[in-house]
Amino acid sequence: MDTHGTDAEPRSGPSTERSVTLRVNGDPHRLRIEPRVSLLDALREYLGLTGTKKGCDQGACGACTVLADGRRIVSCLALAVQYEDRAITTIEGLARNGEPHPLQAAFVDHDGFQCGYCTPGQICSAIGMVDEFRDGLPSAVTPDVAARDFDFSDEEIKERMSGNLCRCGAYTGINEAVRATFADEVTR
Ligand code: FES
Ligand code: FES
C-alpha cells in the first residue's frame, strides 16, 4: 500500500538491540547493537575505525579482513555479537610506539599498493597467514601435507593470500613485502 501523503505511523516494536563488549586493539567498547550488525559495520559505523574496508560485503574480496584472537577473519561475514570479549585487531592496532608494523613499512618499500583500498585487509591477512604457516597448516599447493616443513615459497604465499583481491594488481609488491618481512622468521 502506498502511504505517501498519509499520516501513517512509522512501524515500531520492541527493541532487539543487545549490549555487547568488543575488545578492539586492546580497548573495550560497550555497544548496544542489533544482533544482525556485522563486525565490519560495528567497527566502521559504531567505533569509527574506518581502516577496515568494505569491498564486496559478501566474503569474496578480503578487504574487511581483521584478526580475532590472532586468526584472520572476514569481518563482513561475522556478526559483532559473536565476537564479544574476543581480541580483535584491526589495521589501526598494528603500530607500536608510533612506528608502523614491519609489514606496513615493507608495503611502502616494495610498492605493495596503488589506491590502498585493499591494503589494510592484505596486511591483516598476511599477519594471520604467517601464524597459520608457523603452526604447520598446509595450503592447497603444499606438496606433502603431512610433512609440516614446507617452504615459504612464492607459490605458498600467493595461494595463502588468494582470498585478498587487489583491483590495482599490486600482487608482485604485496608478495615481495610479505616475503621480505617474514621469510627469515618462518624459514626452518
Ligand atoms: Fe568482506 Fe569483501 S568486504 S570479503
Ligand atoms: Fe588498489 Fe589493492 S591497491 S585495490
- Mean pLDDT over 30-38 rounds to 97
Stronger pLDDT, 3 or 129, i.e. the higher one: 129
Pocket of ligand 2 (CB under 6 A): 113-119, 166-168, 170
User: CATH for 102-186?
Assistant: 1.10.150.120
- Say how many Å lie between the CA of residue 175 and the centre of ligand 2: 13
Closest ligand 2 atom to Cα of 113: 3
d(CA 114, CA 155): 23
Question: Relative to the alpha carbon of 173, which ligand is closest?
Answer: 2
Closest ligand 1 atom to Cα of 40: 1
Closest ligand 1 atom to Cα of 75: 1
Q: Whose CA is nearest to atom 2 of ligand 2?
A: 166
Beta bridge partners of 67: 72, 89
Please give the model's pTM, rounded to 2 decimal places: 0.90
Question: What are the residue ranges spanned by the domains of the chain?
Answer: 18-93, 102-186
> Which residue from 65, 91, 104, 167 has its CB within 8 A of the most atoms of ligand 2, so it is best to mutate?
167
Q: List CB contacts of 96: < 8 A, sequence separation 6 or more.
A: none
- Nearest Cα neighbor of 49 from 36, 72, 31, 70 is 31
- Nearest Cα neighbor of 132 from 62, 60, 72, 69 is 72
pLDDT at 7: 54
In CATH terms, the superfamily for domain 18-93 is Beta-grasp domain (3.10.20.30)
CB 121 within 8 A of CB 65: yes
- Mean pLDDT over 1-30 rounds to 76
Task: Say if residue 110's pLDDT is above 70.
Answer: yes
- Say how many Å lie between the CA of residue 112 and the centre of ligand 2: 9
Residue 92 pLDDT level (bands cut at 50, 70, 90) = very high
Q: Whose CA is nearest to atom 4 of ligand 1?
A: 59
Closest ligand 1 atom to Cα of 54: 3
Mean pLDDT of the chain: 92
Q: Strand, coil or helix: what is 146?
A: coil
CA-to-CA separations, 80 to 14, 77, 149, 183, in angstroms, rounded: 20, 10, 36, 34
Judge if the beta carbon of residue 74 lies within 6 A of ligand 1: yes
pLDDT digits (tens, 9 = 90+) for 40-79: 999 999 999 999 999 999 999 999 999 999 999 999 999 9
- The strand pair at 27-33 and 18-24 is best described as antiparallel
- Do the domains 18-93 and 102-186 sit in the same CATH topology, yes or no? no
